[in-house]
Every structure is written in C-alpha cells, then in structure tokens.
C-alpha cells in the first residue's frame, strides 16, 4: 500500500510539474519573452501590458513616483535636444510631420554595425525620394567615447549619451529586449512596425517604406529570426515558382487578417505570425531541424520556444482547413509534437 501511495504521489508531482512547465511556456509566448530576467507589469483589471521593461522601471524609479508606469506618448518621452554627429543640436519638435525610426544599437554589437551600414544607405534613399523621415539613435554603448565613434558613422540624430534617463525611458516605452532594434513610427508617433531591421534588410530599395506590416510573409533568411518570437503558422509549398508562393499567401491571408484585426481591437499582439515557405536551403534546414515530413503543401504551426510543432498533412489545403487549424490551435485543441 505504501509503495502504491508513493507512486501516486510521484505521478501527481510529475503531472503538476508538467502543467507548470506548459503554463510557463504559454506566458513566455504571450508576452514574447526572449531573455531573462524579465519583469512585466499588467493592469489587473484588463490583463493588458502596462510596461514590458519592469526592471528598468525599478532602476529608474525606485521610489515609485511614476506609478503605475503606463506608456507615455512618444512626443513626451523624446522631448529634449537631439544631436547630429557634427555637434549641432536640434529640438525634438523638429520631428513633427515626419516618419521616425527609433534605432537601438551599440558599437560593441557586430549585428548592429552590419545593420547600420545597410541603414545608412536606406536612410539616404528615403531622403532622396523626398520622404519626411528621420532616425534617432538610442545608444547602448558602454562609454561615451564608443558612442561618439559609432555615431560618427551615422547621418541622423541621436539622444545625447549623457541623457541616460531619456535613453532608458525609450527602452521602457518599446520594451526593448535585444539589439539591434529599429522601431518605425508614423508622423503621429504611433508604431508602424517593430520589425524595421527585417524590413530594411528585405527591402534594400525602400520601395515599401514606411513598411506597414504584411499579414503574411514569405520566409527568408532575413526574417527567419521572427520564428523565435512566438508560434508561427508556416505553409510549406516547396516550389521556386513565385506564382505558387503568391497563391499560397492569398490562401492564408484572409484568416491572418481576421486574427490580426481581432487582437488589434483588443489592443493585443496577434498570437500567431503567418509565413509561406518556398524551396531553398533555409527552408530545407528548417524542415530538417523541426523533423517535418517532406510532403508539399504542408501546413504547420511551429513554436520554437516551446520546441513544439503542429502538423496538418492533407492532400489539399483550403481556406476552411487553415481556419479550422488555427482556431483549434488557439483553443488548445491540438496535440503538440516535439521538435
């Protein structure tokens, strides 16, 4: 009897730990956590995010004078002098009527330096096209000397390195968890996209500026990093034919738009990103890494952080099948397979 009770307790404990593990993964996905420690403040009444960078809040406001630390308008946070690399100072009011890129970067970060070289060219092309656009560099450099060296390569504006409080408030405002990050704002200071880095790398001629988000993306080397940001629906078509990829995008776009609109109305981020994957080395590597079957077309949801996949392997994929697959996933009716 004692052995039986002990085994029951062990089994109960195992199931309890497993439940806690999946709850933890759900929270990581819901709040798009990419590193730890992370502290997020929520409105207990609505469940909405008040502040994503709670650790910075505690550091900057240890007395809680700014409680409850809700988001402030961009114009209020950025207010103050901005610099050019020739020493000229401009007031932030000069940004009125412009699209703005808020660029979080640092000289010690190799991916940052690589992106900066591309971004300089993009900035030049956008300005030459007559667009009202400005970039503000928010440094994460470890010294003012490094900041000045790095800023000397940039033709845009910067928050003064000595204004640590304003740099910290901008990090808090956009919940920055890693660099490089480029946030693109409309002239009213509202976020157009948090994926400016991906957009700049995918659109070297800047034809799609200011890069309003697309409901469905074509998976590429430059945007594959987004697969790590949360659950992603990926429709594999295994074809180099642009026409087939475009047809696949049109197939899943209605449900993608519906999901995005539903969560936007609730002022929440959509719980899924949507991709079409064609035939290339990167797609082959993704199939190998996630141990997916070679079938095509193949409808999947990949959750890299949870190391889980959901696969719909059918001969024909229709809009109704896509919608049912997505709805079952969101309702937690699908059984995950390990990656």
pTM for this predicted structure: 0.80
Q: Comparing 135 with 12, which gets the higher pLDDT?
A: 135
Beta bridge partners of 182: 103
Q: How confident is the model at residue 313 (pLDDT cuts 50, 70, 90)?
A: confident
- Assign residue 263 the CATH number of its domain: 3.40.30.10
Whole-Å CA distances, 120 to 38, 95, 98, 192, 291: 32, 19, 18, 20, 39
Q: Examine residue 184 and state whether it is found in any structural domain, yes or no.
A: yes
Q: How confident is the model at residue 8 (pLDDT cuts 50, 70, 90)?
A: low
Q: Are residues 97 and 66 in the same domain?
A: no
Q: Are residues 311 and 235 in the same domain?
A: yes
Q: Are residues 270 and 284 in the same domain?
A: yes
Structural domains of the chain, count: 3
Q: Are residues 129 and 235 in the same domain?
A: no
Q: Are residues 167 and 49 in the same domain?
A: no
- Which positions ≥6 away from 246 have C-beta within 8 Å? none
Average confidence (pLDDT) over 149-156: 97
Q: Are residues 172 and 238 in the same domain?
A: no
Q: What is the pLDDT of residues 200-242, one digit of tens each?
A: 998 999 999 999 999 999 998 888 989 988 899 999 997 766 6
Which residue range(s) make up the domain with 303?
A: 217-338
């Amino acid at each position: 009897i004692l052995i039986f009770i002990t085994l029951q307790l062990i089994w109960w404990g195992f199931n309890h730990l497993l439940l806690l593990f999946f709850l933890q993964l759900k929270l990581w996905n819901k709040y798009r956590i990419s590193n730890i420690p992370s502290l997020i403040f929520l409105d207990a009444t609505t469940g909405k995010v008040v502040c994503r960078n709670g650790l910075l809040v505690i550091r900057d406001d240890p007395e809680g004078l700014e409680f409850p630390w809700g988001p402030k308008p961009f114009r209020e946070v950025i207010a103050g002098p901005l610099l050019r690399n020739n020493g000229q100072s401009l007031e932030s009011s000069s940004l009125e009527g412009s699209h703005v890129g808020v660029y979080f970067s640092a000289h010690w970060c190799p991916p940052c330096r690589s992106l900066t070289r591309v971004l300089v060219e993009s900035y030049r092309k956008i300005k030459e096209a007559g667009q009202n656009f400005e970039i503000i560099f928010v440094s994460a450099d470890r010294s003012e000397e490094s900041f000045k060296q790095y800023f000397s390569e940039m033709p845009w504006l910067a928050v003064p390195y000595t204004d640590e409080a304003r740099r910290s408030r901008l990090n808090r405002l956009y919940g920055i968890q890693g660099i490089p990050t480029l946030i693109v704002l409309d002239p009213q200071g509202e976020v157009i996209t948090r994926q400016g880095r991906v957009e700049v790398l995918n659109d070297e001629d800047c034809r799609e500026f200011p890069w309003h988000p697309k409901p469905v993306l074509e998976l590429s080397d430059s945007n594959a990093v987004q697969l790590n940001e949360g659950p992603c629906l990926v429709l594999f078509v295994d074809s180099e034919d642009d026409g087939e990829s475009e047809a696949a995008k049109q197939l899943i776009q209605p449900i993608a738009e519906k999901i995005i609109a539903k969560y936007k109305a609730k002022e929440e981020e959509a719980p899924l990103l949507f991709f079409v994957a064609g035939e290339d080395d990167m797609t082959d590597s993704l199939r190998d890494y996630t141990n997916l079957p070679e079938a095509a077309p193949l409808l999947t949801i990949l959750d890299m952080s949870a190391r889980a996949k959901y696969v719909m392997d059918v001969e024909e994929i229709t809009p109704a099948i896509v919608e049912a697959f997505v709805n079952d996933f969101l309702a937690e009716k699908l059984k995950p397979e390990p990656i």
